[in-house]
Chain A
Amino acid sequence: MSGQATTRGRTVPTQTTKSTYWQGVRDGAPFILVIVPFSLLFGVVATEAGLNMLETMSFSVLVIAGAAQFTALQLLTDGAPTLIALVSALAVNLRMAMYSASLTPWIGEATLGQRAVAAYFTVDQSYACAITAFERNPGWSITQRLAYFFGVVTPICPLWYLFTFIGALVGTSIPQGLALDFALPITFLAMIGPMLRTPAHVLAALISVVTALVFAFLPYNLGLLVAGVVGMMTGAQAELWLEQRKAARQ
Chain B
Amino acid sequence: MNIETADLWFVIIGLGLGSFGLRFVFTGLVGNRPLPPWLLRHLRYTAVAVLPGLVAPLVVWPAATGDSLDAPRMAAALVTLAAGYFLRNVIAAIVLGGVTLYGGLALLG
Contacts and interface: CB of A to CB of B under 8 A. Distances in A.
Interface of A: 33-34, 37, 49-51, 55, 58-59, 62-65, 67-69, 71-72, 74, 76-79, 82, 85-86, 88-101, 103-105, 107-108, 112, 115-116, 118-120, 122, 179, 181-182, 184-196, 200-201, 204-209, 211-213, 216, 223-224, 227-236, 239-240
A93 B1 CA distance: 25
B13 to A, nearest CB: 7
B27 A192 contact: no
| Chain A binding surface, main DSSP class | helix
A189 B19 contact: no
B15 A89 contact: yes
A213 B41 CA distance: 25
13 contacts: A97-B22, A101-B26, A108-B27, A119-B23, A182-B62, A188-B51, A190-B90, A192-B84, A194-B89, A231-B49, A232-B45, A234-B49, A239-B41
Interface residues of B, number: 76
Nearest to B4: A82
Given A98-B40, A108-B32, A186-B76, A195 B23 contact: no
Given A50-B3, A120-B20, 9 more contacts: A86-B10, A88-B54, A100-B25, A101-B26, A119-B27, A181-B63, A188-B51, A190-B91, A232-B45
Q: 7 closest pairs, A vs B, by CB?
A: A193-B84, A231-B49, A235-B45, A62-B16, A227-B53, A212-B53, A190-B93
A88 B57 CA distance: 15
Interface string B81-109: 11111111111011001100110010000
Contacts of B3: 49-51, 76-77
A79 B31 CA distance: 39
Contacts of B88: 193-194
B84 A90 contact: no
A116 B31 contact: no
Contacts of B94: 37, 186-187, 190
